[in-house]
Amino acid sequence: MPTTYRVRELRGYDRNVMRGARRSSDRVLETVPFCWMCRATAGDRTREHVFALRLQREFPPEMTRFEPVRYTSIGNGAQVGSRRGPFAGNALVAGGVCATCNNGWMSQLETDARTYLLGHKSVIDGADAAMLSRWFAKTAIIINVSQPYRLLWHDTRRHQTQFRTPDNVAISLYRTREPDLNWKQGSIMSMHTMSSRMNPSQVSRLTGALTHLCEIQVGTLVGAVVALPWQLSASALTMPGSLLWSSRTARRVDLSALPMMEDPFADDPIIDVAPSAFWSGESMGSSQKPPREVAAPTQVG
């Protein structure tokens, strides 16, 4: 039985889309929680920055002013759907993060990651590679929940980030020549193969609407984060650059010898689409997994 949501209890962006569009892309639909990153329902709420203020202070002011642009797909092309800013990076925040998360594990993660983000260490492996993977996953989540884009990280995976890199996530790293603080989310993934068990409409729905691709640039370092929906957990990904995290495993990477790309957001991952072993493919709202993980709810005003 699909979960029923009151539209007014959703994120502002999702709420406006659901009320104003005849047909909208699939998304995770959840009422706005007290904290996006844990199950707390009370306490002090804070604002989590997309890029920590102490990280922003490492870059010249012109790199910490942002002008986010949202594109909408029109046929085979795209056009600007909205443009905001420019405004200072300290305005880019997710408002619904509890003080325990923000001042605890998230603050520690920022401290641990900055050594590698700023290039003070080169070779990364083991626990540190897992830590940096968590930082990129956490940042992709904060970008997704705070910016005008459909929600793609359900609560289970968001909460996993407190302890580890979430399920069904792959992360790779590469370099670009021009330093910046920036991101891009929502690129179209390239397809290499597709399982015969799936039809094209299913694949389009899962890879185009419910997969989150977020590329995050810090200086000349770029991390590509792909979060697959659980239905595609058996799929294989070919990521741009050097793989840092895949299949719950951290990889050894030499940050001083990463592949160089002229455009920080040009190369999309390639996916060999395969359905997970426990998904029948019959319904997005299948009882084999909680319906909160996909967009199959009933809307009410």
The residue range of the domain holding 43 is: 4-284
Q: Is residue 131 part of a domain?
A: yes
Please give the span between the terminal C-alpha atoms of the chain, in angstroms, as a whole number: 19
* pLDDT tier, 1 (very low <50, low <70, confident <90, very high otherwise): very low
Reference 152, options 27, 64, 17; nearest CA is: 27
- Any bridge partners for residue 70, and if so which? 82
Reference 227, options 176, 267, 186; nearest CA is: 186
Reference 222, options 266, 174, 154; nearest CA is: 174
Q: Give dist(CA 283, CA 121) in Å, integer.
A: 47
The number of folded domains in the chain is 1
Q: What is the mean pLDDT of the chain?
A: 85
Predicted structure pTM score: 0.88
Q: For the chain, what percent of residues have pLDDT higher than 90? A: 55
Q: Is residue 289 part of a domain?
A: no
Peptide bond just before 259 cis, omega within 30 deg? no
Q: What is the pLDDT of residues 199-250, one digit of tens each?
A: 888 888 889 889 999 999 999 999 999 999 999 999 999 999 999 999 999 9
Q: What is the pLDDT of residues 262-277, one digit of tens each?
A: 999 988 899 999 988 8
Reference 47, options 107, 110, 98, 7; nearest CA is: 98
- Cβ 213 vs Cβ 225: under 8 Å: yes
Q: Is residue 248 part of a domain?
A: yes
Q: Is residue 301 part of a domain?
A: no
Q: What is the pLDDT of residues 8-22, one digit of tens each?
A: 788 888 888 877 755
Q: Is residue 293 part of a domain?
A: no
Q: Is residue 52 part of a domain?
A: yes
Q: Is residue 113 part of a domain?
A: yes
Q: Give dist(CA 248, CA 297) in Å, integer.
A: 30
Residues 6+ apart with CB under 8 A from 154: 28, 30, 292, 293
How far lies 207's CA from each of 47, 210, 232, 240, 270, in Å? 31, 6, 8, 17, 11
Res. 131: pLDDT tops 60: yes
Q: What is the pLDDT of residues 53-93, one digit of tens each?
A: 999 999 998 888 887 776 665 445 555 556 776 778 888 88
Q: Give dist(CA 192, CA 197) in Å, integer.
A: 15
- Any bridge partners for residue 173, and if so which? 223, 242
Q: Is residue 298 part of a domain?
A: no
Q: Is 221 helix (H, G, I), strand (E, B) or coil?
A: strand
